[in-house]
Structure formats: structure tokens, C-alpha cells
């Protein structure tokens, strides 16, 4: 066997370059593989689970529509218990409350302690004394239906206030024949109480879904939107989804 030629400095340089080139090519191949593998990983879905269920549409409280409430076999949405939200910023808390309110109402369940809704304390009239006149009341005749609220006749632009502490579940510029409408969910004596404020002025809504309000807090202005003759606040009270006459309820509870 012929003796191996002695290694020279030039030979060692060439071998080093070839080894470095092979390592570089292998590294590039591994890097591309990592990128491809990473691109194939599924993205996390932040709206899965309870939050996704909470995106169900809010049920209606339209006049003339039947109301039902099942006490024994009620559907219970997966909603975080009172005060157990993982949200930390005001925006996150508002969004969580919005989704929770929508899910509870859509499921037809009493809100109870399922939502992070403050218990209502003092109850006040939705408009200041001397700014309104009572007109059509609960049960007034309507074509094919009955009137589910109490009308407070007042000039356009008269301020409307929240009757009690609660959280907003509906705030819209157009809600069927109700026109501009706000709906607030509250807990009164352990019962779910919804108050509805309708026929408000376009662009006057001061609260959005997920906002929580105090009793007497300004929420918008009297208007004449929707199906109505003249300007007024149409005010409804629903206890566990059942409409009740607002006037005697207010007279009994306003402090």
C-alpha cells in the first residue's frame, strides 16, 4: 500500500472549507424543516369553550311575543361564577360581561349569580320628577297584541336614567318596533329583573352592551323612534323573563 502523502497547510484549509460548507447546508435544511413544522401547527382558538357558547344571539322581549320560563329543566350556559372572571382590563371585563349576558338570556335562564352583575340596591324612577306625563300603560290595546310597558311622554331630548344598578345586555339604534333601545339586567331580591328603555333618540345612547350602571345614571334621551305616536320613553319591567306592570312595581320599590 502506497504511503499517504503528508498533509500540507493548503490541504487542511481545503478540507476545513468543505466541512464548513456541509455543516452550513445541513443547518439550512434543519432551519427550513423547523419553519415548515411550525407553519403546520394549528393556531389556538381563543373562542372555543364557554366564550364561544356565549356568542349566541340575545333573545328578544318584543311586544306580542310569547314569553316562557322553565324552572326544573332550565338550560344553564357555561358562565363564569360571580366575580370569577379571568379578565383584568376594563375592556376585557366588559367583553366578558357582554358574552355572559348574551349567553344567559339566549339560554332562557334566570341570570341569578351566574353573571357578575351587582345586586340592585336603591330603585329610582327612570326620569326626573316633573319631566314627564304618564300616557299609555301596561295592557293598553294594540292591534293583535297588548302593550307590555308604561309610556312616559316627554319632549325629545329629555334625559333618561337607569332605574337600578345592573349591566347592559342590549344597546341598539334599531330594535324592531321599539326603535332605539337599551336593556339592563339586574338582580332584585334574588330575582332576575330586566328593564327596557325604548323609543329613544338616535345617537343618544350613553352605554353599550357589557357596561354596568348605577341607579339614576344617565343612559340616553327621550325620542320618537320605532312604532310610536309622539315622543316618549317606553319602559318595561320583566321578572324572570315575564313582563309585569311597571307602574305598580315602581311605586312599590322606588325609594
Prediction pTM value: 0.60
Residue at 57 is within a domain: no
Residue at 75 is within a domain: no
Contact between 100 and 82 under an 8 Å Cβ cutoff? The reply is no
Residue at 228 is within a domain: yes
Nearest to 194 by CA among 159, 160, 235: 235
Higher pLDDT, 162 or 39: 162
Cell of 91: 375592556
Residue at 4 is within a domain: no
Instruction: Tell me the CA distances in angstroms from 10 to 2, 6, 13, 16, 50, one per residue in order.
Output: 22, 11, 5, 10, 69
Residue at 87 is within a domain: no
**% of the chain with per-residue pLDDT over 90:** 40
Tens-digit pLDDT profile for residues 16-62: 445 444 444 444 443 333 333 333 333 333 333 333 333 333 333 44
Residue at 95 is within a domain: no
223: containing domain = 133-253
Tens-digit pLDDT profile for residues 213-246: 999 999 999 999 999 889 999 999 999 989 999 9
Domain count of the fold of the chain: 1
Residue at 122 is within a domain: no
Give the domain CATH number at 216. 2.70.70.10
Contact between 183 and 154 under an 8 Å Cβ cutoff? The reply is no
Residue at 110 is within a domain: no
Contact between 164 and 158 under an 8 Å Cβ cutoff? The reply is no
Mean local confidence (pLDDT), 148-152: 93
Contact between 116 and 142 under an 8 Å Cβ cutoff? The reply is no
Amino acid at each position: 500500500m502506497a504511503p499517504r502523502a503528508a498533509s500540507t497547510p493548503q490541504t487542511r484549509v481545503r478540507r476545513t472549507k468543505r466541512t464548513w460548507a456541509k455543516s452550513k447546508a445541513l443547518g439550512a435544511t434543519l432551519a427550513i424543516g423547523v419553519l415548515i413544522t411550525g407553519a403546520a401547527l394549528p393556531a389556538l382558538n381563543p373562542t372555543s369553550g364557554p366564550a364561544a357558547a356565549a356568542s349566541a344571539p340575545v333573545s328578544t322581549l318584543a311586544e306580542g311575543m310569547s314569553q316562557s320560563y322553565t324552572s326544573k329543566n332550565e338550560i344553564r350556559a357555561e358562565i363564569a361564577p360571580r366575580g370569577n372572571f379571568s379578565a383584568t382590563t376594563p375592556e376585557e371585563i366588559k367583553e366578558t360581561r357582554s358574552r355572559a349576558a348574551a349567553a344567559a338570556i339566549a339560554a332562557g335562564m334566570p341570570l341569578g349569580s351566574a353573571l357578575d352583575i351587582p345586586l340592585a340596591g336603591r330603585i329610582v324612577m327612570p326620569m326626573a320628577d316633573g319631566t314627564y306625563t304618564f300616557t299609555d300603560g301596561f295592557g293598553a290595546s294594540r292591534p293583535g297584541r297588548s302593550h307590555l310597558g308604561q309610556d312616559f311622554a316627554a319632549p325629545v331630548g329629555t334625559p333618561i336614567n337607569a332605574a337600578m344598578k345592573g349591566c347592559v345586555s342590549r344597546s341598539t339604534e334599531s330594535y324592531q318596533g321599539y326603535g332605539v333601545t337599551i336593556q339592563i339586567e339586574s338582580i332584585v331580591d334574588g330575582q332576575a329583573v330586566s328593564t327596557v328603555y325604548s323609543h329613544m333618540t338616535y345617537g343618544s345612547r350613553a352605554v353599550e352592551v357589557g357596561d354596568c350602571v348605577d341607579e339614576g345614571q344617565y343612559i340616553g334621551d327621550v325620542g320618537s323612534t320605532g312604532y310610536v305616536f309622539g315622543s316618549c320613553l317606553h319602559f318595561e319591567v320583566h321578572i324572570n323573563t315575564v313582563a309585569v306592570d311597571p307602574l305598580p312595581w315602581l311605586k312599590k320599590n322606588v325609594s
